[in-house]
């Protein structure tokens, strides 16, 4: 965008067509704004700026400046096809109505310009001799861009298919494993653990969920995978049942939006508990706010049914989503889990510390336990404890570890005042 604006801007400036040169300058500035946003890691903002800015630019340019004559057809509107193809690719993780709404908007504008070649009268259209060169440049750029987008989409979906196949094979060959990260209370006792998924791949090594959960969600594979996590966690609780310490622990598992949306999610959980012969209150399901936003009423109904069986419900990554008090009050949660973004900033960022304090107060006001995750420093732990936090999880107390290491850790823990 920067290069295109600069190139055409110089060209029109040399030709003495100032209005067009100014438009190209605006395009260049837009390009700069997009680059700055991307460098600041505000990728979504950068994408929206780029697409909406380019759309407005192409439409105005097509209507006012690139006006069809008997000799030379209009060509700027062809960029709307590139925008549509790019939007289809770039916005693939957005909600379908947004993604296809945007693509539809660009294609509709293309149709309008193709069907109505005349421009808005009274403006300085670009001269035909300039547009004669422009049409070649524009057409070649459009065709090359479309080829690049097609190539990107193809290689992306090939990689996606390969990953999906690898995940399916991994489940069939039992290459998924649960790691356990200890959760402690204010006295330092291990009172529970979060089960975190790992994929032991012969080629890739130990793969963290960040590298495959999104793909598993996109392909629906998270459903069988989530069932495996649920069944494995319940079996683990059963194996620990007779142990004096392990038998007292609470085990948390993560549940994705797609899982909760299944009409038979509640019976699935109850059956897994029944099969393993364990009580509901030993299991905690961690949900994120996005899970709840999809269809609040049905989510709340399922949560109530789970609570009726004693199952604990935790709101994961709390503070990063959209929950309002109105939402929170409706949900039968037993725990709020403060996201590690706020914990990390406690010592350095007064805003993060103030948010952490407010989240703790909110939990207290709602009568819900609050756990903080991502605690790495003793000072973070002390701050949270002094402000009413009752449960703690983070590298300071133990990283996610293999089952045997976790069992050894619990065994080796000094007797608590309650023992």
Binding site for ligand C2E (CB under 6 A): 181, 196-197, 208-210, 213, 222, 226, 229, 253-254, 256, 286, 316-317, 340, 373-376, 394-395, 400
Nearest to 303 by CA among 319, 285, 318: 285
From Mg ion, ligand C2E, none, interface partner of 244 (C-beta below 5 to 8 A by class): none
Structure tokens at 362: 């909110």
From ligand C2E, Mg ion, none, interface partner of 349 (C-beta below 5 to 8 A by class): none
Shortest Cβ 319–ligand C2E spacing (Å): 12
Interface with Mg ion, residue 288, by CB under 5 A? no
Shortest Cβ 243–Mg ion spacing (Å): 24
Shortest Cβ 343–ligand C2E spacing (Å): 8
Interface with Mg ion, residue 317, by CB under 5 A? yes
The answer to whether the beta carbons of residues 80 and 110 sit under 8 Å apart is: yes
Q: For Mg ion, which stretch binds (CB under 5 A), given 108-116, 259-267, 286-294, 389-397?
A: 286-294
Question: Residue 284, exposed/middle/buried by CB under 10 A (0-12, 13-18, 19+)?
Answer: buried
Q: CA-to-CA distance for 187 and 391, rounded, in angstroms? A: 9
Site string for Mg ion, 209-248 (x = CB under 5 A): ----------------------------------------
Shortest Cβ 306–ligand C2E spacing (Å): 16
Which residues are within 8 A (CB) of 87 and not within 5 positions of it... i.e. 6 or more apart? 51, 99, 102, 103, 106
Of 24 and 289, the one with the shorter C-beta distance to Mg ion is 289
Report DSSP letters for 216-267, one per residue. HHHHTTHHHHHHHHHHHHHHHHHHHTTSTTGGG-EEEEE--HHHHHSTTHHH
Interface with Mg ion, residue 286, by CB under 5 A? yes
Give the three-state DSSP class for 195.
Answer: strand
Of 74 and 340, the one with the shorter C-beta distance to ligand C2E is 340
User: For residue 200, which phi and psi values (nearest 5 degrees)?
Assistant: -95, 95
Structure tokens at 168: 């399916």
The CA distances from residue 241 to 213, 244, 313, 383, 390, in Å, are 30, 8, 21, 34, 24
Of 189 and 337, the one with the shorter C-beta distance to Mg ion is 337
Q: For Mg ion, which stretch binds (CB under 5 A), given 3-11, 111-119, 222-230, 280-288?
A: 280-288
Of 66 and 286, the one with the shorter C-beta distance to ligand C2E is 286
Interface with Mg ion, residue 289, by CB under 5 A? no
Q: Residue numbers of the site for Mg ion (CB under 5 A)?
A: 254, 286, 316-317
């Amino acid at each position: 965008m920067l290069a295109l604006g600069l190139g055409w801007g110089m060209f029109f400036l040399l030709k003495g067509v100032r209005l067009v040169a100014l438009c190209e300058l605006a395009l260049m500035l837009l390009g700069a704004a997009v680059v700055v946003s991307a460098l600041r890691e505000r990728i979504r903002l950068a994408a929206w700026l780029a697409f909406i800015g380019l759309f407005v630019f192409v439409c105005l340019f097509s209507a006012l400046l690139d006006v069809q004559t008997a000799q030379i057809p209009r060509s700027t509107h062809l960029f709307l096809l590139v925008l549509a193809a790019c939007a289809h690719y770039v916005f693939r993780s957005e909600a379908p109505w947004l993604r296809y709404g945007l693509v539809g908007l660009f294609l509709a504008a293309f149709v309008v310009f193709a069907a109505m070649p005349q421009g808005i009268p009274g403006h300085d259209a670009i001269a035909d001799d300039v547009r004669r060169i422009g049409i070649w440049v524009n057409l070649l750029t459009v065709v090359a861009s479309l080829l690049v987008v097609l190539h990107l989409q193809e290689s992306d979906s090939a990689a996606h298919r390969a990953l999906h196949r690898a995940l399916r094979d991994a489940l069939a060959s039992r290459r998924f494993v649960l790691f356990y990260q200890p959760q402690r209370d204010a006295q330092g006792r291990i009172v529970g653990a979060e089960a975190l998924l790992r994929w032991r791949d012969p080629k890739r090594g130990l793969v963290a969920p960040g590298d495959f959960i999104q793909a598993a969600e996109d392909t629906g594979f998270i459903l069988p995978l989530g069932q495996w996590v649920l069944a494995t966690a319940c079996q683990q609780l059963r194996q620990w049942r007779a142990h004096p310490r392990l038998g007292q622990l609470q085990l948390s598992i993560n549940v994705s939006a797609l899982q909760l949306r299944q009409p038979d999610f509640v019976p699935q959980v109850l059956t897994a508990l029944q099969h393993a012969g364990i009580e509901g209150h030993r299991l905690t399901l961690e949900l994120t706010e996005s899970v709840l936003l999809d269809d609040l009423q049905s989510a709340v109904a399922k949560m109530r049914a789970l609570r009726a069986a004693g199952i604990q419900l935790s709101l994961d990554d709390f503070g990063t989503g959209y929950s309002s008090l109105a939402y929170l009050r409706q949900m039968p949660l037993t725990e709020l889990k403060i996201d590690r973004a706020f914990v990390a900033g406690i010592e350095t960022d007064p805003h993060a510390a103030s948010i952490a304090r407010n989240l703790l107060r909110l939990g207290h006001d709602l009568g819900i336990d609050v756990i903080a995750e991502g605690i790495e420093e003793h000072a973070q732990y002390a701050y949270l404890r002094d402000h009413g936090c009752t449960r703690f999880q983070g590298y300071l107390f133990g990283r996610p570890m293999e089952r045997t290491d976790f069992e050894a850790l619990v065994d080796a823990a000094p007797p608590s005042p309650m023992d």
